[in-house]
A and B are shown apart, each in its own frame.
Chain A
């Protein structure tokens, strides 16, 4: 009888563990209400790194990182003016005017976008949006909204203010907000991209050292896809530093602290870490930086070394013994495809 009770106790513990893991840990980060989002992907196997596929793997990493920043800029740009304009968020951006209307009337506010389409803002801000504060929540629905930035947005996401330091009506502030329930399609002239998040991710705008503006993106199961590729960013922090000085030559884009797992078009996972920040003139190929790509299971690696804007060296360790088995040369443009 005693043994039976201990067996039952063990069974209770196992059931408790299974139900905890199976329920996803009980986080309620996507908020209590909102649209249904697609489920997170099942983890595929790690991608084997070989000499033959090194360029394909590297290309996927480069495209992956590039997409993250594109989407971060788009989502941020729909709410905030793009640098180098001085932020002055509350008085210069139509979306914030909608926030204010919503707060004042308690009803959803709709406005037309600059070129075509419309955006509707609703939500439950805790305070007047002129003084944004933590937990203020807004829901945005875009109907083919084209603000003349070269793309249109269709879909919806929420904005939950996480942290605000300084005054967003000036050049100097630090604003962090989360975007739960993202289901957005971005249409360009040459195709569409979709973005969805099973959980929330965070964007932080830091202009404390303006004109240097830092945009950081912390993804949590953020899925990006095009017709050809599918990426899922599961963890890590991406940050982009933009010097909004008029001189283009002083404008830098930087990727740092990235430690990501990515579901790549090779049908598997690859781990990559930006070991030396990438630095590039705005909108151009990076001139320096280093990314270490690795298979999480074995020790196979590719070290992507950016020698210059026209040369990228790939150091491939295909057997995981710590020595370079092959070195290949390519360009950032070629990897981007």
Chain B
């Protein structure tokens, strides 16, 4: 009769699935801010449906100002991390990449975007995609709080990923 030890491990969902779940939840919450608190006219996507907007609430209060930027940065960073999961170094690079892109997009609303869109228009002609960039650059307004919230979102994504990984390794 042989003897030995059998290690029973509790079954866990993969870490990636849990992170994706948090990203989806963040995106949902950010969307709720737009649907409930924001003026749809300020959104290219929602502006089309402006006649269907119900009276806006103040459900998110002052948080409604920066939550979408923070949650969006968190979600995109997490999704980048998950997609590039086999390469641990990309945890940091994914967050940095999205922070760079998101910051650039925010800067486009500072007046830089107006000049860029006009320059691109001169170069490429009057094409439809540039219309969206122009609308974004001309109608948006640069906001340092959005920039800060984006940074916090990216850092949170990195911190959550590292924390979840370490917790899972311990268990």
Please give the residue numbers on chain A whose beta carbons come within 8 Å of chain B beta carbons, in ascending order: 2, 5-6, 8-9, 12-13, 15-17, 19-30, 32-34, 36-40, 42-43, 45-46, 181, 198-199, 220-221, 234-235, 261, 296-297
Q: Which A residues are in CB contact (< 8 Å) with B47?
A: 24, 39-40
* B interface residues, tally (CB under 8 Å): 62
Indicate if the CB atoms of A21 and B44 lie closer than 8 Å: yes
- Please tell me which one of the listed residues B48, B98, B131, B139 contacts residue A24 in the complex, with CB atoms under 8 A apart: B139
The number of residue pairs between A and B whose CB atoms lie closer than 8 Å in the complex comes to 158
For B138, the chain A residues whose CB sits under 8 A away are 43, 221, 234-235, 261
Scoring B residues 23 to 65 as 1 if CB is less than 8 Å from chain A, else 0, what string do you get? 0000000000010011111111111101001011110111011
Nearest residue (CB) in B for A7 is: B83
Chain B residue at smallest Cβ distance from A8: B83
A26–B101 CB distance below 8 A? no
With A16-B101, A24-B139, A25-B105: A33-B58 Cβ-Cβ less than 8 Å: yes
The smallest C-beta distance from A237 to any residue of chain B, in angstroms, reads: 11
Which of the residues B61, B62, B146 comes within 8 Å of A26, measured between beta carbons? B146
For A20, the closest partner residue in chain B by CB is: B105
> Digit string of B55-92 for contact with A (CB within 8 Å is 1, else 0)?
11110111011101100100010011001111000000
> Quick check: B43 and A43 within 8 Å, CB to CB?
no
Q: A16-B98, A22-B44 are in contact. Are A40 and B80 (CB under 8 A)?
A: no
- A91 CA / B21 CA spacing, docked (Å): 57
Q: A21-B105, A27-B140 are in contact. Are A16 and B72 (CB under 8 A)?
A: yes
A316 to B48, CA, bound (A): 39
Q: Residue of A at shortest CB range from B54?
A: A36
When chains A and B are docked, how far (Å) is the Cα of A25 from the Cα of B56? Answer: 19
Q: Does A33 lie within 8 Å of B57, measured CB to CB?
A: yes
8 further A-B contacts with Cβ under 8 Å, apart from A27-B109, A39-B40, A42-B135, are A20-B102, A23-B45, A23-B68, A25-B109, A25-B140, A36-B39, A36-B53, A40-B42
From the candidates B39, B79, B131, name the one contacting A43 in the complex (CB within 8 A).
B131
Contact yes or no, B80 A12, CB < 8 A? yes
A23 to B31 alpha-carbon distance, docked (Å): 9
Q: Once the chains bind, are A198 and B146 in contact (CB under 8 Å)?
A: no
11 contacts between A and B (CB under 8 A): A13-B98, A17-B105, A22-B45, A23-B68, A26-B72, A26-B146, A29-B42, A29-B141, A30-B39, A32-B64, A39-B48
The CB with the most chain A CB atoms within 10 A, among B53, B56, B126, is that of B56
* Chain A residues, Cβ within 8 Å of B56: 32-34, 36
* Partner of A40 from B105, B118, B139 at Cβ < 8 Å: B139
Question: Among A9, A30, A181, which residue has its beta carbon within 8 angstroms of that of B83?
Answer: A9
Q: What's the minimum C-beta distance from B137 to chain A, rounded to whole angstroms?
A: 9
Q: Are B101 and A13 in contact (CB under 8 A)?
A: yes
CB of B83 within 8 A of CB of A20, answer no
Residues of B contacting A8 in the complex (Cβ-Cβ under 8 angstroms): 83
Top 4 A-B residue pairs of the complex, sorted by shortest distance between their CB atoms? A25-B140, A39-B47, A16-B76, A28-B65
State the CA gap A8–B65 with chains docked (Å).
30
B83-A297 in contact (CB<8A): no
User: Is A26 a contact partner of B139 (Cβ separation < 8 A)?
Assistant: no
- Shortest A222–chain B CB gap in Å is 11
- Does chain A have a CB within 8 A of B122? yes
Please measure, in the bound complex, the distance between the C-alpha atom of A29 and the C-alpha atom of B94, giving whole angstroms.
29
- Name which residue of chain B comes closest to A269, CB basis: B134
Cα of A234 to Cα of B106 in the assembled complex, Å = 17
Residues of A within 8 A of B132 (CB): 21-22
- Please determine whether A13 and B41 come into contact, CB atoms closer than 8 angstroms: no
Among A43, A220, A297, chain B packs the most CB atoms within 10 A around the CB of A43
Residues of A within 8 A of B102 (CB): 16, 20
- In the complex, A221→B109 CA distance in Å? 13
Question: Are A22 and B43 in contact, with the CB atoms below 8 A?
Answer: yes
Within 8 A of A (CB), among B85-127: 85-86, 94, 97-98, 101-102, 105-106, 109, 111, 114, 118, 121-122, 125-126
Q: Given the complex of chains A and B, what is the CA–CA distance between A121 and B168 in angstroms?
A: 57
**How near does chain B come to A182, taking the closest CB pair, in angstroms?**
12
- B165 contacts chain A at the CB level, 8 A cutoff: no
